[in-house]
Structure 1
Amino acid sequence: MARRNDHTKEELRELALNAAEALVAKEGLSGLSARKVAASIGYSAGSLYQLFASIDELCWELNSRTLSVLLQQLVESEQPCAAQEQLNAYALCYYEFAIRHTSSWSLLFEHKSSTCDALPVKLTAQIEDLFAQIERPLMHLNKSKTPKEVALAAKTLWSGVHGITTLAVNRKLFLSIDGAEIAMLDCLISSFLEGWCKEKPAC
């Protein structure tokens, strides 16, 4: 069995996070425990608690890594195109991310802290950064809206995108049409923007 001084603290945290990701992918959130994570990297559960105050903290760290990857992929999906096309690209990116990284993506919504409801400041900032990506094209499409209205619209629209994605991931769309998920995402966005842009005929 490895000893704690075989790795730096940073190395050990990375080992633990990688092991936790593997456990979540294999067994889901219910299969995640300090004992299992520690055993998989050859350390004791006590050693793990020298790195993370609780399983909640470990999950927050996992979710932070997931959000970082998701944001990077959203940024990479940006194209020199019309705002509506960019929103379609973001939606497709989000859907494909959920399909490719289902366990990590699911943990974002399944994990609830056992001690408090408030998100860590780092996670809150990452979520705000993600929504800022959605707010920019919405603001471009209707410059008469206030920042609060744009923020509300971004969350409203993305709630719909998330709903379609969730149903698709869980195979609950009950549609046999190839590419139905993408068609639904495009339909949602175009319908939403029809109302969003109604004050601007040029849209």
Structure 2
Amino acid sequence: MGRRSDHSRTELSEIIVEAGYRHMEEVGFAHFSAREVAKRIGYSIGTIYNVFGSYDALILAINGRTLALWRDHLERRLAQSQGDRLAKAIEAYFEFAGRHRHAWAAIYDFRLPEDTSPPEAYQAQVRAIFDIVVAEVRAALPEQRKADAEALTRSLLATVHGHCVFAMNGTFAILGETDPARAVLERVREAVSAVTAPS
């Protein structure tokens, strides 16, 4: 790996994020080490902090990489859908979490200080995934209820996420649920049906 004079700040940022993402995929947030990332790329820990400014900013950049990969996966899977697009979106959620377990979990394991908000660019990445799902939920609602799509999507995402976490940590296996993705799809369909049913 070249030394600092061989890379621009932008190149260094990409090198660090790529190495950091691979490290996060391997060990997860609890065991993540910025020093290990520096060691892997042949730079000092000071270089990493010079580029990102703080440990928190580094983790946000790595989690941002995960969000971008997640969005791309969701978009690809929906583009392949020939039927129930909500089912395909849920399938994509479980697929991505399963294939990128540690990096996916790091999005939720990491916390900024309570008085600090994520940068706008990071919030936009989260919102981009949310907006994709909102569009699918909105499409499933009757015209008179489409304005409810965002609120419903927030609740549905919480339901899907909870099922996914229980599937990943083994809780569902203990409880006897053998197909969490199918189970949560039924809950989502019930929720959408309740909204679309005549009052």
- Range class of TM-score, shorter chain: 0.7 to 0.9
For 1:171-191, what per-residue CA distance to the aligned partner results, in whole angstroms no more than 9, with x for missing partners?
21025565x122212211221
- Give the equivalent residue in structure 1 for 2:99: 100
Moved over 6 A (4+): none
The two structures have a TM-score, normalised by structure 2, of 0.88
Letter of the 1:184 counterpart: A
Q: How far off is 1:142 after superposition?
A: 2.3
- Give the equivalent residue in structure 1 for 2:187: 188
Q: Which runs of 5+ in 2 are unaligned?
A: none
Which is further off, 92-101 or 33-42?
33-42
Q: How far off is 1:144 after superposition?
A: 1.0
CA contact (8 A) 1:56 1:114 kept: no
- Give the equivalent residue in structure 2 for 1:48: 48
Q: For 1:1-203, what aligned pairs fall within 5 Å after superposition? A: 2-79=2-79, 81=82, 85-114=84-113, 116-140=115-139, 141-145=141-145, 147=147, 149-174=148-173, 180-199=179-198
Residues of 2 paired with 1:19 and 1:32: CA distance?
Answer: 11
Please state whether the residue corresponding to 1:51 is helix, strand or coil: helix
Letter of the 1:167 counterpart: F
Please state whether the residue corresponding to 2:132 is helix, strand or coil: helix
CA contact (8 A) 1:9 1:51 kept: yes
Residues of 2 paired with 1:196 and 1:53: CA distance?
Answer: 46
Residues of 2 paired with 1:89 and 1:39: CA distance?
Answer: 40
CA contact (8 A) 1:23 1:31 kept: no
Residues of 2 paired with 1:126 and 1:153: CA distance?
Answer: 20
User: How many equivalent pairs are there?
Assistant: 196
* Structure 1 pair 63–76 and aligned structure 2 pair: CA distance change class (3 A): same
Q: Which runs of 5+ in 1 are unaligned?
A: none
Residues of 2 paired with 1:81 and 1:58: CA distance?
Answer: 39
Q: How far off is 1:65 after superposition?
A: 1.2
Among all aligned residue pairs of Structure 1 and Structure 2, give the percentage whose two residues are the same amino acid.
Answer: 26
For 1:1-34, what per-residue CA distance to the aligned partner results, in whole angstroms no more than 9, with x for missing partners?
8420122222222221122223223332232233
CA contact (8 A) 1:24 1:104 kept: yes
Whose helix fraction is larger, Structure 1's or Structure 2's?
Answer: 2
Residues of 1 paired with 2:106 and 2:82: CA distance?
Answer: 32
The two structures have a TM-score, normalised by structure 1, of 0.86
Q: How far off is 1:49 after superposition?
A: 1.4
* Structure 1 pair 136–199 and aligned structure 2 pair: CA distance change class (3 A): farther
* Structure 1 pair 114–45 and aligned structure 2 pair: CA distance change class (3 A): farther
Residues of 2 paired with 1:43 and 1:138: CA distance?
Answer: 46
Q: How far off is 1:127 after superposition?
A: 1.8
Q: How far off is 1:53 after superposition?
A: 0.6
CA contact (8 A) 2:63 2:103 kept: yes
What's the RMSD between the two structures over aligned residues? Answer: 2.2
Residues of 1 paired with 2:23 and 2:155: CA distance?
Answer: 33
